[in-house]
């Protein structure tokens, strides 16, 4: 291995000062790392010193970022664009940096911790990890220590020697041991003004371009989700939702009565479902139909023409047996999906003034109240390796169609917040390039639903700000938003869901009024009118 050069200690000089032989050696080093670690994601114009200790299990680094000599990186590390890890810095554990983060020399960012219960040597005890999340445009001075579980907001400054044990708000300058607020680099009100301007511009663009978004997927008598997809009832309902949300009007191609007829014609008289399934418990598409078709009809001023047999023919004991039989331990998402559908079916039956058998609604809401796990606040179990995605998704679906729809509190709100925030740190699903509408909505809605507790408020706001900034970058001219924000073809489903997500995140930050829209259909905040 070569002797470190000045560029190894000051990599920002590499692009302009490195002689040809150093450039060739740096290229060869990157090639060797890429060959040895094909799963690492290394951007363009990245400098990784030969004399840095790079041993992460998962590693991503964005364009024009660099790691200097003597730095030591292990764990699951994600570094954005234009970042610097300066000499002898240590970054270990579950750590994610945004863009333009500068990490000073001899700083330690530690995204894990040791257990230290008495009776066993510390080094023999298991590790725990909550992870460290650092926003964009953050300056971290030399000899700073950032401990596990900390979130640092955008534009913050961590002064030299700071020991950071708690979250740092966006725009704050902190220092000392333990770190405390010294002053503001970006005052909260200024950050809020900028955010409001961004929200207004985003919503105005969506309104202006909605005709083009719908026009690219319109077909005779209906819509498709994307230009390469087949026409579906779901796409028609998404078009209704978008038109009601942004234009307070029916979609182009027909008037309200005409679209009501198109949607209502899909309902089977014998079951009330929009597929040939015998019950909504058997068919996920039938369950989706109760939601998408029901809310679209509601927005158009109509309602289902036929009763929903799963409600009007139900009995309390049979409903409890159905709930018990759902796959809560293995697939809490699917279980929550069916609860969402039966709760929404109860709502539409009530709106139709159908005779609902005694005790059916009480059985549903009583079951949910008694079966919520106090440890997670949710129904079901985490997946393999502590994966919380299906658990959180199932909670959102079950709570949305039941408790949220009628305005009841969730049984264990602080446990829900703990679980959701823990899930939000899981880069298997929440790394920036992997975020999709379902995963982010499953986070935003439960946090909004439990916001009145004030529990972990600063962490919730920091997360909401990060997710919101990302969501606002996803609009495609004349096409809307993709279901997976940074990949895939834009479509009606992605557009409808992300517009609702933007509202929820903005409302958590107390600036949703800047959008001048509020979800009114399937993603309506607050109880539905009875």
pLDDT digit string, tens, across residues 76-112: 999 999 999 999 999 999 999 989 999 999 999 999 8
State the pTM of this model: 0.72
Are residue 131 and residue 46 in the same domain, yes or no?
Answer: yes
- Considering only CA atoms, which of 37, 41, 141 is closest in space to residue 89? 141
Regions in the chain scoring below 50 on pLDDT? none
* Cα angle: 439, vertex 390, 430; to 5 degrees: 35
**Does any domain span residue 1?**
no
CATH code of 51's domain: 2.160.10.10
Q: Which of 189, 223, 288 minimizes the C-alpha distance to 522?
A: 288
Q: Which residues are registered as beta bridge partners of 140? A: 103, 158
- On whether residue 232 sits in a domain, the answer given is yes
182 and 221 fall within a common domain: no
Q: Say if 131 falls within a structural domain.
A: yes
Q: Which of 168, 186, 204 is the last residue of a domain?
A: 186
Helical axes 360-371 vs 332-352, angle rounded to 10°: 150
Active site residue 476: no
- What is residue 129's predicted lDDT score, i.e. its pLDDT? 80
Total domain count, the chain: 2
CA angle 469–46–106, rounded 5-degree value: 85
Q: Which residue range forms the structural domain that includes residue 82?
A: 6-186
Two tokens, residue 282: 């058997």
pLDDT of residue 410: 95
Residue 14 CB coordination number (10 Å): 19
Q: Which residue has the tokens 């962490």?
A: 459
User: Does one domain contain both 110 and 38?
Assistant: yes
Domain membership of residue 452 (yes or no) is no
Same domain, 27 and 168: yes
Q: Do 130 and 278 reside in the same domain of the chain? A: no
Helix (H, G, I), strand (E, B) or coil at 76: strand
Question: Which residue out of 37, 114, 247, 306 is catalytically annotated?
Answer: 114
Last residue of a domain, one of 253, 281, 306: 306
192 within a domain of the structure (yes/no) = no
Distance CA 295, CA 274 (A): 13
pLDDT tens-digit map of 453-491: 999 988 899 899 889 989 999 999 999 999 999 888 999
Flag whether 61 is in a domain: yes
Q: At 151, which helix (H) or strand (E)?
A: strand 151-152
Residue 397 lies in a domain: no
> Is there a domain that residue 264 lies in?
yes
Q: Answer yes or no: do 44 and 180 share one domain.
A: yes
Within this chain, do residues 170 and 262 fall inside the same structural domain, yes or no?
no
Q: Are residues 159 and 268 in the same domain?
A: no
Shared domain for 118 and 19, answered yes or no, is yes
pLDDT at 189: 62
Give the three-class secondary structure for 381.
coil
Residues 129 and 268 in one domain: no
Q: How many helices (H) and strands (E) does the chain have?
A: 18, 23
21 plus 140 within the same structural domain:
yes
Same domain, 92 and 32: yes
């Amino acid at each position: 291995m070569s002797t470190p050069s000045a560029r190894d200690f000051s990599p920002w000089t590499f692009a302009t000062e490195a002689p040809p032989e150093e450039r060739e050696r740096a290229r060869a080093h990157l090639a060797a790392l890429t060959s040895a670690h094909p799963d690492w994601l290394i951007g363009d114009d990245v400098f990784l010193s030969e004399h840095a200790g790079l041993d992460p299990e998962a590693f991503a680094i964005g364009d024009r970022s660099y790691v200097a000599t003597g730095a030591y990186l292990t764990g699951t590390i994600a570094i954005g664009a234009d970042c610097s890890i300066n000499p002898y810095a240590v970054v270990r554990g579950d750590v994610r940096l945004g863009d333009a983060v500068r990490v000073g020399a001899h700083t330690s960012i530690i995204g894990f911790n040791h257990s230290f219960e008495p009776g066993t040597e510390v080094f023999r005890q298991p590790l725990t990890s909550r992870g460290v999340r650092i926003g964009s445009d953050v300056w971290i001075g030399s000899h700073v220590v950032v401990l596990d579980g900390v979130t640092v907001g955008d534009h913050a400054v961590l002064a030299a020697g700071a020991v950071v044990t708690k979250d740092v708000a966006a725009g704050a300058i902190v220092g000392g041991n333990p770190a405390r607020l010294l002053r503001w680099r970006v005052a909260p009100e200024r950050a809020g003004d900028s955010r409001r301007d961004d929200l207004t511009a985003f919503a105005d663009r969506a309104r202006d371009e909605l005709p083009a978004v719908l026009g690219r997927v319109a077909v005779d008598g209906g819509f498709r989700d994307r230009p390469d997809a087949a026409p579906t009832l779901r796409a028609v309902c998404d078009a209704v939702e978008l038109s009601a949300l942004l234009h307070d009007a029916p979609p182009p191609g027909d008037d309200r009565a005409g679209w009501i007829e198109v949607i209502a014609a899909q309902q089977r008289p014998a079951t009330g479902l929009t597929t040939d399934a015998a019950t909504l418990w058997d068919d996920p598409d039938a369950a989706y139909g109760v939601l998408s078709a029901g809310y679209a009809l509601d927005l158009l001023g109509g309602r289902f023409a036929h009763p929903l047999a799963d409600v009007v023919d139900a009995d309390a004991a049979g409903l409890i047996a159905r709930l018990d039989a759902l796959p809560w331990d293995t697939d809490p998402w699917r279980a929550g999906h069916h609860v969402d559908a039966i709760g929404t079916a109860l709502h539409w039956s009530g709106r139709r003034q159908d005779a609902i058998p005694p005790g059916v609604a009480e059985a549903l809401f009583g079951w949910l109240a008694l079966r919520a796990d106090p440890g997670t606040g949710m129904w079901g179990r985490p997946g393999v390796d502590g994966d919380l995605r299906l658990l959180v998704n199932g909670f959102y679906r079950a709570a949305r169609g039941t408790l949220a729809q009628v305005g009841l509190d969730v049984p264990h709100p602080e446990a829900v917040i703990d679980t959701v925030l823990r899930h939000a740190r899981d880069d298997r699903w929440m790394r920036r390039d992997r975020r999709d509408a379902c995963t982010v909505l499953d986070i935003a809605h439960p946090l909004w639903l439990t916001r009145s507790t004030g529990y972990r408020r600063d962490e919730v706001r920091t997360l909401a700000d990060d997710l919101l900034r990302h969501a606002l970058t996803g609009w495609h001219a004349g096409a809307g938003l993709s279901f997976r924000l940074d990949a895939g073809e834009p479509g009606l489903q992605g557009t409808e869901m992300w517009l609702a997500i933007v509202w929820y995140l903005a409302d958590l930050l107390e600036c949703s009024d800047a959008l001048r829209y509020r979800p009114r259909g399937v993603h309506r905040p607050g109880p539905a009118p009875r």
